[in-house]
């Protein structure tokens, strides 16, 4: 079987579906999105849905701010089957030393300059936001009240896809073992069912993106990084609305809408493959020190997810010099969901030739060749 399309997007996670939506919104409907597992079948489907703007590089702050503004109006934009609940309950970073707060100062100043309302707050102010926190364990904190959560990342992704489908975008369940190139230009893709001729290919294949890029001779510096999330029993009382993070203690926790608390231990002393008992004990030890109410919860399950991480923990966005018509939206390094709206729109505009709302040129693939990396210091 041989088909035709103008644009083929490989990967139906939140990034691929966002790109498809924005392309269709801008008048392009001859689009095929291909994923071997289906819509939101990969890492997106287990993403806890955090959306934060507290970053340490300007490009990430700008994309996160634009994406947060989109999430605020997401129901009007996507007209989902049922309401997408986006709650701006904030992200709260604890600082256990004066040096840690001092190190964060440039990030806070950057965020404020770009219109992100992050502020330093005292221990007493933290206590007002999170009454159960142990104020003896830290000195100060940063807080951005407009950060938040869309608890159901799967629903967000399928809503992007549904909105694109209403404008004519097709979604195919299949694999793409090869991108086809003729005379240094994209000619199509090979699928399990046959060839699809096209003028543009977008690689949004997440953990499969490195292998796909290699089929046209593009070597991508992506390495997998495993993260584990623990989930507790449901608690009726609302005890932890913002995401509580301690970089120094390697801990993060948040109560979801259904009452479940999810938490993770991020310390460098625990590396995959994790011993489940040791991991839970360490997470509990650190968690109860910072937030004593965790003594009352039960760990019910855990989920292991994998970041598609780059050397500077920044996404790879845009085309490549060697192959015309080929574009990449990969290497999300754990922050794809929270920046998906901005990435989707900027990649769509890049393909079309429009001026982008956020300049994504610093995240072009060439930065690796030019030794122009932009290390992101605020990766959770």
Is domain 92-143+225-305 in CATH 3.10.450.50, yes or no? no
Using alpha carbons, select from 68, 21, 6, 72 the residue that is nearest to residue 347. Answer: 21
Instruction: Convert the pLDDT of each residue in 83-138 to its tens digit.
Output: 999 999 999 999 999 999 999 999 999 999 999 999 999 999 999 999 999 999 99
Inform me whether the pLDDT recorded for 1 exceeds 80: no
Residue with more model confidence, 144 or 42: 144
Q: Inform me whether the pLDDT recorded for 321 exceeds 70.
A: yes
Contact assessment for residue 21 and residue 343, using Cβ atoms and an 8 Å cutoff: no
Q: Which CATH class is domain 3-49+153-222+311-370?
A: alpha beta
Mean pLDDT calculated for residue range 325-333: 98
Q: What digits encode the pLDDT tens for the residues 240-287?
A: 999 999 999 999 999 999 999 999 999 989 999 999 999 999 999 999
Which tens digit of pLDDT belongs to each residue from 192-239? 999 999 999 999 999 999 999 999 999 999 999 999 999 999 999 999
Q: Retrieve residue 243's tokens.
A: 């995401």
Phi, psi of 163 (to 5 degrees): -65, -35
CA dist., res. 46 & res. 304, Å (int): 9
pLDDT at 113: 98
- The DSSP result for 155-193, as a single string, is HHHHHHHHHHHHTT-EEEE----EEEEETTEEEEEE-SS
- What does the domain layout of the chain look like in residue ranges? 3-49+153-222+311-370, 92-143+225-305
């Amino acid at each position: 079987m041989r088909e035709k399309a103008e644009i083929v997007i490989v990967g139906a996670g939140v990034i691929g579906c966002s790109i498809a939506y924005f392309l269709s919104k801008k008048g392009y409907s001859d689009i095929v999105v291909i994923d071997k597992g289906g819509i939101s079948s990969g890492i997106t489907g287990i993403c806890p849905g955090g959306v934060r703007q507290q970053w340490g590089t300007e490009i990430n702050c700008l994309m996160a701010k634009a994406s947060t503004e989109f999430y605020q109006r997401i129901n009007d934009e996507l007209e989902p089957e049922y309401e997408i609940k986006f709650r701006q309950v904030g992200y709260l970073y604890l600082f256990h030393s004066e040096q840690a707060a001092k190190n964060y100062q440039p990030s806070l100043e950057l965020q404020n300059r770009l219109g992100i309302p992050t502020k330093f707050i005292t221990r007493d102010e933290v206590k007002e936001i999170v009454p159960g926190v142990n104020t003896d364990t830290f000195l100060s904190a940063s807080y951005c009240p407009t950060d938040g959560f869309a608890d159901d990342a799967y629903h967000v992704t399928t809503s992007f896809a549904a909105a694109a489908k209403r404008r004519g975008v097709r979604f195919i369940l299949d694999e793409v073992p090869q991108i086809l190139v003729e005379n240094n230009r994209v000619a199509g893709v090979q699928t399990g069912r046959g060839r699809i001729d096209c003028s543009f290919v977008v690689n949004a294949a997440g953990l499969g993106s490195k292998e796909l890029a290699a089929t046209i001779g593009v070597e991508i510096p992506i390495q997998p990084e495993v993260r584990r999330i623990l989930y507790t029993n449901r608690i009726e009382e609302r005890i932890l609305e913002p995401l509580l993070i301690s970089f120094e203690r390697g801990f993060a926790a948040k109560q979801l809408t259904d009452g479940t608390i999810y938490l993770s231990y991020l310390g460098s002393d625990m590396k995959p493959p994790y011993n489940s008992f040791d991991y839970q004990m360490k997470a509990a030890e650190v968690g109860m020190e910072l937030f004593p109410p965790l003594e009352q919860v039960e760990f019910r399950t855990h989920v292991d997810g994998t970041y598609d991480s780059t050397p500077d923990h920044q996404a790879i966005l845009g085309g490549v010099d060697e192959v015309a018509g080929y574009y990449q939206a990969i290497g999300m390094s754990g922050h794809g969901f929270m920046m998906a709206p901005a990435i989707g729109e900027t990649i769509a505009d890049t393909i079309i030739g429009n001026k982008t709302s956020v300049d994504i040129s610093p995240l072009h693939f060439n930065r690796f060749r030019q030794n122009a990396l932009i290390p992101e210091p605020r990766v959770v």
